[in-house]
Homo-oligomer: A and B are copies of this chain.
Amino acid sequence: MIRASLVIIGDEILSGRTEDKNLAYLAQWLGKLGIHLSEVRVVLDDESDIIEAVNSLRKRYDYVFTTGGIGPTHDDITTDSIAKAFGVKTKIDDKALIKMKEYLAGKELTKPFLKMLYIPEGGELIYSPATKAPGYKIENVFVMAGIPSIMQGMLEGMYDYLEKGEVVHSRSFDIFVGESFFAEKLTKIQGRFTGLDIGSYPFSRDGKYGATIVIRSADENKLDVCEKEIQSLIKEY
């Protein structure tokens, strides 16, 4: 199984000012490639926190993605932190410098613009047809912007660098009764399957409790059999 993790970098997420939109997008995008998002950490714009998260996750998972903190302002410290996590310096990417000069078309290349051209030594810029701004990778760590539209463009560029796995299919069914009433029966259904996971996710809508039952497997035939059992469970209520 190919497993990935995500480090969301940004004080603004942890203060509750901004709601992250990248987790769900990345999870679904990776899911279609058969890559399982298996852990996410949200950390402050703090060098030691970023280093610890990246170093801990890059050993444990096949891929680490990061979002946020690669802009031009003083609080954008992701690239410097990732360089330190790998024990390398940062360097100006020559290809990026040429593209930036084209973009500026004679206007001054100020410090903030220059700052965004630095990436860790050993890293590689990843251009995408979907956006002008490139993300970059260093070993198994993929670095992206925090703004969702830019992040999504950068992610497209990373497609070719990722090994694809077996795609897990899922089907979901809503049941309008509290989980306590069907939990035992659901446990028995789960007991009859291997290589198929059943999850139950409770919700409250208009003051009434229910749950979404999700079945997941790489094997569509197993899903067919399980779906019939879930459908007949739902009919009981």
Contact = CB atoms under 8 A, between A and B. Distances in A.
Interface of A: 10-20, 23-28, 31, 36-45, 49, 71-75, 110-113, 115-116, 146-147, 149-150, 170, 172, 179-181, 183-184, 186-187, 190, 197-204, 211, 214, 216
A22 to B, nearest CB: 10
Contact of A37 (B16, B28, B38, B39): B16
A38 B14 contact: yes
B42 A49 contact: no
A73 B186 contact: yes
Contacts of A190: 74
A184 B110 contact: yes
B179 A72 contact: yes
A31 B12 CA distance: 12
Contact of A15 (B37, B42, B110): B37
Closest 3 CB pairs of A and B: A16-B27, A112-B183, A40-B42
Given A44-B38, A147-B204, A72 B183 contact: yes
A215 to B, nearest CB: 12
B40 A41 contact: yes
30 contacts: A11-B199, A12-B201, A12-B214, A13-B23, A14-B37, A14-B39, A15-B170, A15-B216, A17-B172, A19-B24, A20-B23, A38-B44, A38-B49, A39-B41, A40-B42, A45-B199, A71-B200, A72-B179, A72-B183, A73-B183, A74-B183, A74-B198, A75-B197, A75-B199, A112-B179, A112-B180, A112-B184, A113-B180, A116-B180, A147-B202
A154 B203 CA distance: 16
Given A40-B42, A150-B204, 19 more contacts: A12-B201, A14-B36, A15-B28, A16-B31, A18-B201, A20-B23, A23-B42, A38-B49, A41-B41, A41-B42, A71-B183, A73-B179, A73-B186, A73-B187, A73-B211, A110-B184, A147-B202, A147-B204, A149-B204
A68 to B, nearest CB: 9
A59 to B, nearest CB: 13
Given A17-B172, A27-B14, A147-B203, A180 B40 contact: no
Contacts of A146: 201-202
